[in-house]
Amino acid sequence: MIVMDWARFATGLLVLLLGVAVLSFSLRTFGRLLASVRAGFGKVWCDPLGLPDLLVAFVLISWLGASAVHGFLRSAPEPGLTDQALLQSAALFGAVVGAIVLFLQARRIPVARLFGLRPAEPLAVFKRGAGLFIAALPLVFLCFGLVQWVARQEVEMQEIVQYFVDAVRHSDWKRVLLAAGMAGVVAPVTEEFLFRGYFYGVLRRYLGVLPALLLTSALFAAIHMNGPVFLPLFVLAVCFTLAYEATGSLLASMFMHALFNSVMLVAMFYSANQP
């Protein structure tokens, strides 16, 4: 009995030490990136963004912020996500991104260069993004754990996740593919373009790195309108932004975003199939 207790203690201690080491690595990785960016070594190019962009960003941020506040303050829960609502949301974000692209092109601002969409070494960008994604996971999961520990209950699933889980449980593969496409492709592209690319670029130009980082990350977390996941999504958004700064390419944060959503969907798919 004593031997068994010592074995359990040793195993628990080993897991604790390993967890501390992993978290220390993650904190050190992103801490160094933040320090480097604040020292002026970030690679995001925002010089062409001017006062017209500040006005547009202010209007869009105000609209999204008001929508998030309305979502948090609603007294009754919204009905489940429908196919039409999912497609309309994707179309709306796509239209906003398309309008911004046209707005920038009309002023002869090179969109691909501005957001680093044609890097000289794309493979290196994706490799860096994959490494930073792995480094970000311990921080995000720690935040999820802290929220669950404080709330003393399971975190409520987001609408798109619940939609996906319901589709899996009913073997509705059309809806499964629709949710996977939206979460794994459409959301990473449109949300990264809007939040990391445009909003962060504009605010970075006029407010500086740290205010832009905090404001855009908070807005990104808030628009998901799920209070318990605000902190994890805020931390995730910070990691996405620092990856963008580290590479100078929005492809890095898009890739990280797609990886994260895909990992979550795979986990939910496995969970939904459990008896």
Give residue 140's pLDDT: 94
pLDDT band at 49 (very low <50, low <70, confident <90, very high): very high
Cα 274 from Cα 264, distance rounded (Å) = 16
Q: What's the chain's Rg over C-alpha atoms? A: 20
Is 168 within 8 Å of 153 (Cβ atoms)? Answer: no
Is 112 within 8 Å of 193 (Cβ atoms)? Answer: no
Distances (CA, A) of 265 to 38, 82, 84, 182, 261: 34, 18, 20, 11, 6
Q: How far apart are the first and last CA of the chain?
A: 34
pLDDT in tens, 208-221: 999 999 999 999 99
- In sign, the C-alpha dihedral spanning 23, 143, 164, 128 is negative
Is 81 within 8 Å of 163 (Cβ atoms)? Answer: yes
Retrieve residue 268's tokens. Answer: 């939910």
178 Cα distance to chain centroid: 20
pLDDT in tens, 81-136: 888 888 998 999 999 999 999 999 999 999 999 999 999 999 999 999 999 999 99
If you ran DSSP here, which 8-state letter would residue 248 be given?
A: S
- In sign, the C-alpha dihedral spanning 162, 166, 167, 168 is positive
* Cut 0.85: pTM above it: yes
Nearest-CA neighbor of 25 among 196, 142, 148? 142
**What percentage of the chain exceeds 90 in pLDDT?**
67
Give residue 42's pLDDT: 95
Give residue 12's pLDDT: 67
Nearest-CA neighbor of 191 among 111, 261, 268, 263? 261
Residue 163 C-beta-side C-alpha neighbours within 13 Å: 23
Is 213 within 8 Å of 200 (Cβ atoms)? Answer: yes
Residue that wins the pLDDT comparison between 162 and 62: 62
If you average pLDDT over residues 75-85, what whole number do you get?
71
**What percentage of the chain exceeds 70 in pLDDT?**
90
How high is the mean pLDDT of the chain? 89
pLDDT in tens, 123-158: 999 999 999 999 999 999 999 888 888 877 666 667
Nearest-CA neighbor of 265 among 148, 176, 169? 176
Residue type, 104: L
pLDDT band at 11 (very low <50, low <70, confident <90, very high): low
